Structure formats: structure tokens, C-alpha cells
Copies of this chain bind each other. A is one copy, B any other.
Amino acid sequence: MRTALVIGTGLIGTSAALALAQRGVVVHLTDHDPGQARTAAALGAGTDAEPEGPVDLAIVAAPPAHVAGVLADAMRRGVARGYLDVASVKGGPRRELEALGLDLSAYIGSHPMSGREKSGPLAATGDLFEGRPWVLTPTRDTDTEVLNLALELVSHCRAVPVVMDADAHDRAVALVSHMPHLVSSMVAARLEHAEEAAVRLCGQGIRDVTRIAASDPGMWIDILSANPGPVADLLTDVAADLEETVRSLRSLQSSDDVKRRAGADGVQDVLRRGNAGQVRVPGKHGAAPRAYEVVAVLIDDQPGQLARIFADAGQAGVNIEDVRIEHATGQQAGLVQLMVEPKSAVVLSSALRERGWAIRQ
């Protein structure tokens, strides 16, 4: 790939442009707001001058609802050898393009799985996609040359290519992102009018479950509007589990032993299935979650406490695999949980203890 045209210079478009430009590709930038394209160019993402002839790859980075229209326009003008979009849903745009009667052999749908809280070209960075999955949805009609251009883009962005069917992609993101997002919102919604005394009892569990409920509703309406079917199907499955679980809990209130036992079995079933699903969530590096040992250290809130812990761990030659900080309600103190390889736990505990840390094991 020698030349590219990025159509839409928001966060994703500009980040891809930056990565390509850093690898020596000549990148042309355009946006329905010319100011945005100029900003992206000023950041080193390419030039906002029009290309003189067709480029190798046109990258359409427009919101889901506009992707098909922008792609169709670009294809009719013949601005590139290959066309790719980066929208977060893949089935709808493809069907819209098919309905327009376009030859889609030069088109490939894609979705880089990386988001940020911020948007716009100023939030862009050439390493946004580094190490993240980038889904490609070629069909049997996709030119091999176009698939290879897409793979080159993914490689330049240092992302991990994952090939999927467009509709399978939409069901997958409904499963791992859209459905959990809405469920997180529904759990958080229960706190809106809760008593202050109850809210004070919140711990790390509910904090984790509701974290993503803090996201911007506007952006999520766009995402969910483009993928309502698969999300509704999954929520219907969750609703069936919910109903069954409510029934089991009501049986647990019964004075009849047989009913109570059936209730306990029902609750146990959903907890067990939860266990079975949770172990499938990829842990670090996409591998099966490894069993780390936790070394828990009590800290107060003085500046530099964490720094000192990590420095001390480093001097003990121990690699911290993950960290969790649990803060206490109403107290200037907290617990830092350091996740380490089992063989390192004893080394780390004694090294930290020697240096005066309060270790809980």
C-alpha cells in the first residue's frame, strides 16, 4: 500500500491515518467538515489535498448510519482500488450497499475493536489499535487484493486481524459489548433513587458491574440503533433467566422443604452457568485466565505509597501481572491487591514485609 484516502477524520479515521503515515504511506484526508481534515493534517496524519488519481485503499470512517451512503459515493467516483469501512456494525451497511446494486468485490467491511471515552481528531493516536482485535468481514466475492490491502492496514496499525461473517460479527458485539452495556445500565438504574444508607454499602462488586453504565448515552444510542435485533434477542435470553431466577427465589421463601430445595437448585443452576461463562472471558493476552496469587497490601493515602510498593516489588524482581485498588468507605486508607504468578507470591510478600508494608495474606 502506497497511498490511502481517509474519509472521515474523527478519532478512528485520524488514528488509522497517523499509523499509515508513520509507516510511510501517503495519506489523503477528507471530512464533511474541512476544518476537521485540516486538524488531522496538522497532527501529521497526512494531507488534506485531493489525491491526483485513485489511491490504493479508501477508508470510510463515518457513523454507522452514513457509512453506506459515503461508501457508495466514493465507489461511484472510483477514488480507490479497494474500499473499507470501520463502523461498529457490519450487516446493515452491507445490505444497504447491496440494495444500491453496487459491485462489492472491491469492498470489505471491518471493525477495529478499540474505543476511547474521547472523540475527534485531537484524541487520535497512531497506537490506538495496537494489540486490539480488528474484525474483517470479507465475503466469497471480495477480491483477494482488497483483503490483502485490509490486512496490510491492520498490520500497519499493529492490530490483530480476526476474520468473521458480517452478521456473526454483529451478533458477537451484541454479546460481548452491547447486551452487557444495557444490563450494566439496568443494575445502575436501581441506585438512582436508592436510600443513601444503602448506597454507602456499595463495594467493589457493584462498582465493577456498573462501571460502563457511566458512558455517554448519545454515542450508545447510535451503536444500539444500528444493531437492535441481536441485542434484543440476547436481552430476551437474559429475561428468561431472570424470570426463572425470580421463581426460584420465591420458592426459597416457601415453608415447603421440597419447594425450597427446588428453589435452591434453580439459583444454583444460574450461578453455575455464570461460572462456566465467566471462565471463557479472555484474561491477559487473550489466553485463558491464569490463576494468579493475590498479595494484598494495606496503604494509607499518602502520596507516593503506590510508587513505593511498585518500586519495592521491582527491586524484588517480581512482575506484577495486574493491580486492583480497593478503597474503604469514609476512610483515608485502602487495600492494594497485587496479582502475581503463584511462584512469586511468597517472594513478594516477604520482600514487602521486610520493607515495612502491612501484608494481608
> Residues on A close to B: CB < 8 A?
113, 117, 125, 127-128, 130-133, 135, 160, 162, 164, 168, 171-173, 175-177, 179-192, 194-195, 197-203, 205-215, 217, 220-221, 224-225, 228-229, 231-232, 234-239, 241-243, 245-246, 249-250, 252-253, 260, 263-264, 267-268, 270-286, 294, 298, 301-311, 313-315, 317-320, 322-323, 325, 327-335, 358, 360-361
Closest to A117 in B: B294
Q: Chain B contacts of A225 at CB under 8 A?
A: 252, 260, 263-264, 267
Is A285 within 8 A of B332, CB to CB? yes
In the complex this chain forms, how many copies of it are found? 2
Q: How far is the CA of A220 from the CA of B270 in the complex (A)?
A: 11
Closest to A224 in B: B267
Q: Chain B contacts of A280 at CB under 8 A?
A: 191-192, 194, 199
Pick from B162, B228, B304, B313: contact of A253, CB below 8 A. B228
28 residue pairs bridging A and B, Cβ less than 8 Å apart: A125-B361, A127-B298, A127-B358, A130-B298, A130-B331, A130-B333, A131-B331, A131-B334, A131-B335, A172-B197, A175-B190, A175-B198, A176-B191, A183-B183, A186-B242, A188-B278, A191-B277, A213-B271, A213-B275, A213-B277, A228-B253, A229-B253, A231-B249, A285-B301, A285-B329, A286-B328, A286-B329, A306-B320
Q: How far is the CA of A58 from the CA of B214 in the complex (A)?
A: 44
Q: How far is the CA of A172 from the CA of B311 in the complex (A)?
A: 40
Pick from B191, B205, B215, B311: contact of A311, CB below 8 A. B311
Closest to A329 in B: B286
Closest to A219 in B: B271
Is B186 within 8 A of A279, CB to CB? no
Q: Chain B contacts of A311 at CB under 8 A?
A: 307, 310-311, 314
Q: How far is the CA of A251 from the CA of B315 in the complex (A)?
A: 59
| Chain B nearest Cβ from A141, distance in angstroms | 21
Q: How far is the CA of A200 from the CA of B250 in the complex (A)?
A: 37
In the complex with contacts A273-B189, A333-B130, A249-B267 CB distance below 8 A: no
Is A268 within 8 A of B210, CB to CB? no
- Given contact pairs A127-B360, A181-B205, A228-B252, a sample of 19 additional A-B residue pairs in the complex whose CB atoms are under 8 Å apart: A113-B203, A125-B360, A160-B328, A160-B329, A173-B201, A182-B270, A186-B242, A186-B245, A191-B278, A202-B281, A215-B271, A228-B263, A239-B246, A286-B330, A306-B310, A306-B313, A306-B320, A308-B314, A310-B310
